[in-house]
Amino acid sequence: MTRLEELEKAFGGRLGLFALDTGSGASLGYRDAERFPLCSTFKVMAAAALLRASERRPGLLAQRVHYRQSDLVEYSPLTEGHVDDGMTVAALCAAAIQYSDNTAANLLLQVLGGPDEVTAFTRSIGDARFRLDRWETALNSAIPGDPRDTSTPAAMATSLQRLVLGEALAPAQRSLLRDWLRGNTTGAARIQAALPARWIIGDKTGTGSYGTANDVAVLWPLRRAPIVLAIYSTHPQEDAKGRSDIVAAAARIAVDWMG
C-alpha cells in the first residue's frame, strides 16, 4: 500500500492528488482523473475568466460593481463592508481568491454572465473536465456522486499551470493572478503547512459539506522550477469536518516525491 493509499484509508474518505514538476515534466497522481467537488477552488478560474475578458476590455478591472445588503451570502468578510460604495472587479477578484469571499465570487459570476461562462473559459484553455453549475453557497453541497461543480485534480493542476506559468493569459493579467494567489490568507493549515522554509506558495483553498477540504497551488521552491499541486478530499458522511491535516499530509508526500 502506498503512502497516499494509507493516508486515504486513515481518512476514511476519498483523496485525490496531482503534482507536476514543471522542470522535469514528472508527475505524481492519485485518483487524479476522478471528479471531486470544487468548492471554492473554482474562484481561481472565475477570476482568471475576468482577467481574460479584461484583455479585450481594458477598463473592466477598474469597473465598480454595486450591490445590496440582500445580495450578501454566508461568509463575505470583505464585501459586507462595502455595501454602500461597492467594489471594483479587481478588488472582488482579490477578495474571492485571498479571503474566499462568497459574495465577491457571486458578483464576479454576475459580471461574467453566470457559472456557464466560467466553464466556457476553461474549455478555451484546453480543460475538458471543469464544470461550474451553481452559485455560492449552493455549490458547496459536495454530494457524493453529484457531477455538478466538479473537476479532477489533474485538470485543475494543468489549468493552473497554463494560467500562472503558461501563456493562457497575457503577461500583465498573469502577473495579477499570481500575486493574488500568493496573497492568499486561507491556506496556512493545508499545502503551506507541508512546505520547506523559504518556498513561495500561491494557492486557493476550498471547503464544503461531506468533509470536503481542497487546495490547489503553484509552488516556487528554491533554485528549481515551479511545482503545481492540486489536492482534493471528501468524505461519505455529510456532517464530517473538513480535514486540513489530511491535505497537509498529502502535500508532505508530494514534497517528499519531489526530492
Helix (H, G, I), strand (E, B) or coil at 33: coil
Contact between 31 and 147 (Cβ < 8 Å): no
Candidates 248, 57, 37, 46; CA nearest to 138 is 37
- 40 catalytically annotated: yes
Which residues are CB-neighbours of 174 under 8 A, at least 6 positions away? 51, 163, 164, 167, 168
Task: Name the residue among 143, 157, 137 with its Cα closest to residue 234.
Answer: 143
Task: Please tell me what DSSP assigns to residue 23.
Answer: T
Beta strands in 43-141, from DSSP E residues, in sequence order: 64-65, 87-88
The Cα–Cα gap between 224 and 96 comes to: 30
Cα–Cα distance for residue pair 252/202, rounded to 1 Å:
17
Distances (CA, A) of 155 to 33, 83, 85, 141, 210: 8, 36, 38, 21, 22
**Secondary structure class of 148 (helix, strand, coil):** coil
Catalytic option among 24, 27, 40, 54: 40
Contact by Cβ (8 Å): 228, 19: yes
Distance linking the first and last C-alpha atoms of the chain: 20
Closest CA to 161 of 145, 142, 174: 174
Is 229 in a helix, a strand, or coil? Answer: strand
Give the catalytic positions in this structure. Answer: 40
